[in-house]
Structure 1
């Protein structure tokens, strides 16, 4: 079962990282949150950080480190985002994560991931991969 691309899995195993890596990862997370129309609270919950930390990430002033859990979350969210872009062409690419989905017990994928954490993110990532025929 392919849950993460190799590079993303490698990133997720590190608990410390250099400033360039951190800045690239947080910029990608900010792009995901913006494109998906996430609130600050939703983005913070998905990233596994406090809302104040998310605010610093979003405005580019975050200089801390991300722990293993946060790196894994970032890798999964970026993978889901990339998978959706490859799978869907058009507005649904960005709307799908906040659209109620019968396959997710009439919840949005975002709500499922906030409530279920990394296991739910893995499930959704695998779902996207399966729709692409990669699973």
Structure 2
């Protein structure tokens, strides 16, 4: 019984994370390649994963990426008003983390460590630890 509940919880977390991530990608107007690369998935896997009922597995790294990206989205919403909160990730940024790159490109290039740095950076901007 406990294994069934655990498996259900994992599927539920995965489904919620994928749906939330897909919504973030839509709000940020990311293209297929940006969305799949940011999540560390192939284009074909991302196409399948964003549909309801996806039965594939996600690695811990992928789940952490999705969680951090959703946190970035929330931080941007708290710190900036629209449209900047929706455009921030895709606008060039001269800050030290980005060196003129768009944050989305820096995050894809730097992988999970860079994604987590962006999350920490935004949390600090809004007064977090």
> What is the TM-score of this pair, normalised by structure 2?
0.88
Find 1:60's aligned residue among 52, 55, 58: 52
Gaps of at least 5 residues in structure 1 are 1-15
Secondary structure class of the residue paired with 1:134? coil
SS in structure 2 opposite 1:74?
A: helix
Candidates 82, 91, 97, aligned match of 1:90: 82
Separation (CA, whole Å) in 2 of partners of 1:83 and 1:49:
24
The size of the alignment, in residue pairs, is: 120
Q: Superposed, which structure 2 residues align to 1:1-135 within 5 Å?
A: 18-103=10-95, 104-135=98-129
Runs (4+) of structure 1 moved beyond 4 Å? none
Give the TM-score of the pair, scaled to structure 1: 0.84
RMSD value over aligned CA atoms? 1.4
Structure 2: which 5+ residue stretches go unaligned?
A: 1-7
- Give the distance between the partners of 1:57 and 1:130, measured in 2 at CA: 32
Greater relative CO (CA pairs within 8 A, separation 6+)? 1
Indicate conservation of the 8 Å contact 2:49/2:56, yes or no.
no
